[in-house]
Amino acid sequence: MDPNYNSHNSPNNLDGSNVQPKKGSRKKNSKASKKKRRRQKKRRAEKLAALQKQQQLYEQQLAEQALYLPELPQVLDKKTRYPLSYDDFEAFLRSQRAVEYLNFWTDVAAHEQLCRTFDVSERRQKREQQLEERAIDKRRFA
């Protein structure tokens, strides 16, 4: 037998160095790597579940939107969103060269709001005037 021969020599250690793997390190590494793989697999499963849930919600919203079309007063009162919003309706009317109808409707709505505001202020003034007259009448007879 060769005196330089060492039974611990492996094909990787051809230089004759006596390097041996630590006892039990292989098992620890495999346990740690298994835990790591399990955690990664769990994270992937959680992400996939979250994505599937988002996809289901999105599909449900699309289905609900497909069933629901707003009425014209809702669009004109700006209570709808894209693609059926007031601005989209205005763009459509512009493309049909009929935006003056929408402008007319906007002017009518603004006029109605002004009339309501005027009525409220008139009623308030009448109430205040009546209260003042009552106060004056009480002073006269008191």
Please give the single-letter amino acid code of residue 15. D
pLDDT digits (tens, 9 = 90+) for 83-95: 889 999 999 999 9
Q: Are residues 86 and 51 in the same domain?
A: no
6 pLDDT higher than 80: no
Residue finishing a domain among 34, 68, 102: 68
How many domains would you assign to the chain? 2
Residue 109: pLDDT above 70?
yes
Question: Angle 86-95/99-141 helices, nearest 10 degrees?
Answer: 130
Task: Give me the pLDDT at residue 18, please.
Answer: 59
pLDDT tens, 18-74? 556 555 555 556 888 888 899 999 999 999 999 999 999 988 888 876 678 888 899
Whole-model pTM over 0.75: no
Choosing from 68, 89, 111, the residue where a domain stops is 68
Q: Within a 10 A sphere around the Cβ of 48, how many other Cβ atoms?
A: 10
